[in-house]
Structure 1
Amino acid sequence: MCNFHGYDNARRRRHERRIAKQATYKYNKALNMALKAALNPSKPSQQQTP
């Protein structure tokens, strides 16, 4: 395995890209949900009244 370090570095870079993509996806999803909630206030909120 003379090229192990090259493989390991590539794996690490792929992992970093994957983590960055997931963070961006989660942020965009939260942003879109907040935007939808702000644009559609007519839907009843899910607050429970005693």
Structure 2
Amino acid sequence: MPQMAPLWWTTLFMTFVLTMSAVMYILYFLPNKKSGSMESNQYKISKSPILW
């Protein structure tokens, strides 16, 4: 059993990383889907005076 401990920790860590990546992906793309198409959002961002 001691030989299996690193494998279990690696599996848990990879599952945690994949879960966090999925959460960040959903949180990043969900507001874009709500506020409209991605083209309009990119147009608003490109015309924003903050970036210029």
Q: Which has the higher contact order (CA 8 A, sep 6+)?
A: 2
- Residue among 23, 29, 41 paired with 1:31: 29
Normalised by the size of structure 1, how large is the TM-score? Answer: 0.64
| Structure 1 letter corresponding to 2:6 | D
- Percent identity, aligned pairs only? 5
- From the two aligned structures, give the one with the greater helix fraction: 2
1:7-45, CA deviations, whole angstroms, 9 ceiling, x for partnerless residues?
A: 111000000000000001111111111111217xxxxx8
Normalised by the size of structure 2, how large is the TM-score? Answer: 0.62
Moved over 2 A (4+): none
Gaps of at least 5 residues in structure 2 are 38-43
Which residue of 2 is the match for residue 6 of structure 1?
4
Larger Rg: 1
Gaps of at least 5 residues in structure 1 are 40-44
